[in-house]
Structure 1
Amino acid sequence: MTILSAGLVIGVGFCSGFLNVLAGGGSLLSIPLLVFMGLDVSVANATNRVGVLFQNVVAAHQFHKKSLVTVEDSAFFGLPAMAGALVGTFGAVNLDERYLSVAVAILITAMAVLLLVKPDMWEREREVPVSKWIIAVFMFIIGIYGGFVQAGVGFFLLWAIVGAAGKDLLHANALKVVIVALFTTLSLAIFLYHGLVDFYLGTLLAIGNFVGGAMGARFAILKGNRWLRWILSIVVTASAVQMLVNVLR
């Protein structure tokens, strides 16, 4: 691998980490790059988790220092997501990727619409009539998807934490990175056991993800809910368009 190629992986890792911490969808950049670099899709999917873990650990630390996330919330949202990720990582989800991409694109497009037409839903905490058991089920299902694919899981976590649990976007974002760090640790361990991780590319990606994740967390803390909402609107719309274009090719 040339220095230019290594720099490209680190650079994409930075962009991916920054986007993932602020909104989500960064893996839609990094996984195709890893495939372009010569990895099998399954190895690229597994190797991508190295960078994802590093970006979320550093971001979680930043958010924790600002008291934006608690141990209680981390456990409540994180444990069912980890259980779901265990199922997803072992390949229990057996869906055609084409139909899965269409479903994901439709869902995140709906999310983009809500971001634009219902700003209050995202910018302040509120009481919601949703039981904790239902929220736990949401986390479990999202965890399955996260363990299986990873790409775009942050969108669904934000939607569930804001829409079902009533958190504002800044606190939901802090919880999101903690949840992803928890279940990615589990998924990555399984992928490592099965020998599906390319350590060299994973390390390069992780360097970029780590720096991007740290900067993304600082940006989120500095700018707050309104900036996060607009950035999230742009990213989810672009991700939905990309998924639909890929499916229709």
Structure 2
Amino acid sequence: MPPDISLFTLSLLCLAALAAGWVDAVVGGGGLLLLPALLVGLPQVPTAFILGTNKSAAIVGTSAAAVTYLRKAPIDVGIALRIGVAAMAGSLGGAFFAAGINSEVLRPLIMAVLLGVLAFVLFRPAFGTAVAASGPVSRQRVLAAVLIAGLGIGFYDGLIGPGTGAFLVVALVAVLHMDLVTSSATAKVVNVCTNIGALTMFALQGTVLWQLGGLLALFNLVGGTVGARMALKRGAGFVRGVLVLVVIVLLCKLAYDQWFAA
């Protein structure tokens, strides 16, 4: 635990962890809330420790959401685990390179991808609302999901993190033709794997504030459980609305960092 952290700052971080767990369970992108909160609340802490502590909290809420979804949502566990193993490998690689990341280069690329995602979702009203056709998924589609949602997005999660869940949801709908609720459920299983990979690397590098991460994890756990139950109850339309909102907020945050932040 940082020795000079105030009770007020700690309380705000706990609220951010609670909200991040809810957002992450519904559609992903909880890091959009918790990671900036940690950066603002703990300006004296090195970035590597912020990233590691964020993962130590996020993995608990994501795991709780995944368990809730597994009990009630129609998830193909075999496909989810295949993508998850690839995502774990990708996140290990991303976390390894996180210390040398140049955000000035990556930020515009991420913004371009988010703009494409937003346009795709907005101009296709039926995106993620139709139930996929029954029957086995082709090997080509599963392989594409392993490469894109697994290795690709897994690497991004270990490298930076915020928005990973939203990217996973969109990728799974686009590649495997899932509905948004099933995609969110599958994304949680994959996201648990990316968090395990990234947290393992951060732990090996000794860049995790475990006491603070453990406290934030409790609030993230509550948020994740509540968010998953709401997504299951309210359906694809609710998830779609939250997805659009998260992508817009993430775009605004990245644009501010790019052009206005000191």
TM-score normalised per structure 2: 0.88
- The equivalent of 2:49 in structure 1 is 43
8 A contact 2:60–2:220 mirrored in 1: yes
Kindly state the Cα deviation for residue 167 of structure 1 after the two structures are TM-superposed.
0.8
- The equivalent of 1:21 in structure 2 is 25
Where does the alignment leave 5 or more consecutive residues of structure 2 unmatched?
none
**Distance (whole Å) between structure 2 residues aligned to residue 5 and residue 231 of structure 1:** 27
**Pick from 222, 240, 253: which aligns with 1:211?**
222
1:66 correspondence with 2:61? no
**Distance (whole Å) between structure 1 residues aligned to residue 99 and residue 143 of structure 2:** 22
Q: What do the CA deviations read for 1:43-93 (whole angstroms, capped 9, x no partner)?
A: 101110011100111101110110432321222221111121121121189
8 A contact 1:60–1:178 mirrored in 2: yes
- The equivalent of 1:30 in structure 2 is 34
Q: What do the CA deviations read for 1:105-136 (whole angstroms, capped 9, x no partner)?
A: 22112212222221212112336985332222
8 A contact 1:106–1:240 mirrored in 2: no
> What code does the residue aligned with 1:33 have?
A
- The equivalent of 1:135 in structure 2 is 145
3-state SS of 2:75 partner: coil
**Pick from 211, 225, 241: which aligns with 2:252?**
241
- The equivalent of 2:120 in structure 1 is 114
- The equivalent of 1:10 in structure 2 is 14
**Distance (whole Å) between structure 1 residues aligned to residue 76 and residue 176 of structure 2:** 15
Q: CA RMSD in A?
A: 1.9
**Distance (whole Å) between structure 1 residues aligned to residue 73 and residue 129 of structure 2:** 18
**Pick from 174, 178, 183: which aligns with 2:189?**
178
**Pick from 151, 157, 163: which aligns with 1:146?**
157
**Pick from 76, 82, 85: which aligns with 2:88?**
82
**Distance (whole Å) between structure 2 residues aligned to residue 93 and residue 48 of structure 1:** 15
**Pick from 161, 166, 170: which aligns with 2:172?**
161
> What code does the residue aligned with 1:111 have?
V
- The equivalent of 1:202 in structure 2 is 213
Q: Count residues in correspondence.
A: 249
**Distance (whole Å) between structure 1 residues aligned to residue 32 and residue 242 of structure 2:** 16
**Distance (whole Å) between structure 2 residues aligned to residue 36 and residue 131 of structure 1:** 41
TM-score normalised per structure 1: 0.93
> What code does the residue aligned with 1:176 have?
A
| Counterparts in 2 of 1:25 and 1:71: CA distance versus 1, 3 Å | closer
8 A contact 1:9–1:201 mirrored in 2: no
Q: What do the CA deviations read for 1:16-66 (whole angstroms, capped 9, x no partner)?
A: 111111122221221122122322111101110011100111101110110
Where does the alignment leave 5 or more consecutive residues of structure 1 unmatched?
none
| Counterparts in 2 of 1:93 and 1:32: CA distance versus 1, 3 Å | closer
8 A contact 2:21–2:61 mirrored in 1: yes
8 A contact 1:108–1:155 mirrored in 2: no
**Distance (whole Å) between structure 2 residues aligned to residue 146 and residue 169 of structure 1:** 20
The share of aligned pairs that are identical, in percent, is: 26
